[in-house]
Structure formats: structure tokens, C-alpha cells
Chain A
Amino acid sequence: GQSLEQPSEVTAVEGAIVQINCTYQTSGFYGLSWYQQHDGGAPTFLSYNALDGLEETGRFSSFLSRSDSYGYLLLQELQMKDSASYFCAVRKAGGSYIPTFGRGTSLIVHP
């Protein structure tokens, strides 16, 4: 089986840097994805790490370490609009495409 663990809530101030961790227990997977969801909105794709290391997309970066069963999403220069829920997701290797999402981390950005 597989499970992903994320903190339920993270708070930070505008302009700061915040890291949202995702630890997983799964026997083989393709990579780690991150999604953002604002209140009342649909999840939107942020990033995908197929390989170990850091992937950067503007203010957002995502990291994966398969040996540590660990990944994180790094948000820099936080803005109020970054207040949202963030979900990590994996797709188990082999067989068909069955994705699993973490329970999500609510990020609250304060002025």
C-alpha cells in the first residue's frame, strides 16, 4: 500500500519562506506531484519531481529524495494569495495509473 503524510496546517508571514513536507510509505512510485487548492476552488497542478533533487518554478520549488522517502514544496517571497491548501500526490509504479493524494496542508499567510 501507500500513504502520504503532510502537516495539517502551516502559518507564515508575507515575504517569508515556508516549506511543506511530504513523507511517504510506498513500494515504488513514478514521482511526486504537488497541487494547490484555494478555498472553494479546484486543485491546480504546481510541480512534479520524477527524479531526486530540486525543481524550481518561479517562487515555488519542489524537492524529492527517494532514499529518504521524503519530499517538500518550498514557497518563497510569500504573498497573501498563497494562502491555500497544498497536496502532495504519488502514482504507484507498475500497473495502471492510480494516484494517491496526501490529506493536504493548509497554508495561512499573515500580513
Chain B
Amino acid sequence: DVKVTQSSRYLVKRTGEKVFLECVQDMDHENMFWYRQDPGLGLRLIYFSYDVKMKEKGDIPEGYSVSREKKERFSLILESASTNQTSMYLCASSPNSGRLQETQYFGPGTRLLVL
């Protein structure tokens, strides 16, 4: 079974803090994603990475950055947390081969509260 893990289930931070959210997958997937999920807005893509050190902006990259130094690990960074970044953050991965790349495997999510 594919396993995607996220470093924390719940996180409370203060405005202005630098926040790191870590995601690790164990299936050697090329693609990794970071989404945020807010009520009524569904899943919105923040950043996507298709290979080590490669990244592309998603729909809402402002206020975020990412790092992918190793294939299995994709980090989301909030340089200076703000209250409007309070949300559920979901990491996902998928292989880069044919039809299989349409299947994303999600981690359990990190619920971030910025005070």
C-alpha cells in the first residue's frame, strides 16, 4: 500500500512565524502536491513538484514556498504565517506513468491554526 505521511496532524502557530510542513511518501512517486482545503472551496493546489528540485506554482502559491531535495520528501513552507493561512493542508503523491498518474494518494492532512 502507498503510504503518504505528514509530520503533524495539528499545529498551532503565531502570526509571523516560519512554518514547515513535511510530507513523505514511500512509493517512489515522481509527482508530489500540496493542497489546502477550506470549507466550501474544495481542494486548491498550492504547489506541485514533478521531480527532485523541480516545482511549479499551483492556483494559490502566494505566501508559500516549497522544497524537494529528495524524491520521497516534499516540504511546504510558510515564510511568515498569517491568520488567513489557517486551514487544512493536504499532501499527495502520484506516479508519472500513463493512467496511474491520474491516481493521487493523499496524506492524513495537517490542520494548521495561526493565531
Q: Which residues of A contact B (CB under 8 A)?
A: 8, 30-31, 33, 35, 41-45, 48, 50, 87, 91, 96-104
Contacts and interface: CB of A to CB of B under 8 A. Distances in A.
Interface in B1-51: 31, 33, 35, 40-45, 48, 50
Contacts, number: 59
B33 to A, nearest CB: 7
B70 interface: no
Contacts of A87: 42-43
A43 B90 contact: yes
A50 B98 CA distance: 11
B104 interface: yes
Contact of A45 (B56, B90, B103): B103
A98 B58 contact: yes
A103 B50 contact: no
Contact of B31 (A30, A97, A101, A102): A97
Given A42-B90, A101-B43, A96 B56 contact: yes
A48 B103 contact: yes
B5 to A, nearest CB: 11
Interface residues of B, number: 28
Given A50-B99, A96-B56, A97-B50, A44 B106 contact: yes
A99 B106 contact: no
Contacts of B108: 41-42
B90 A30 contact: no
6 contacts: A8-B40, A42-B106, A42-B107, A42-B108, A48-B102, A99-B45
A99 B92 CA distance: 11
B3 to A, nearest CB: 11
B105 A45 contact: yes
Given A30-B102, A98-B56, 20 more contacts: A8-B40, A31-B102, A33-B104, A41-B108, A42-B108, A45-B105, A48-B99, A48-B103, A50-B99, A87-B42, A91-B102, A96-B50, A97-B94, A97-B101, A98-B45, A101-B42, A101-B45, A102-B42, A103-B40, A103-B42
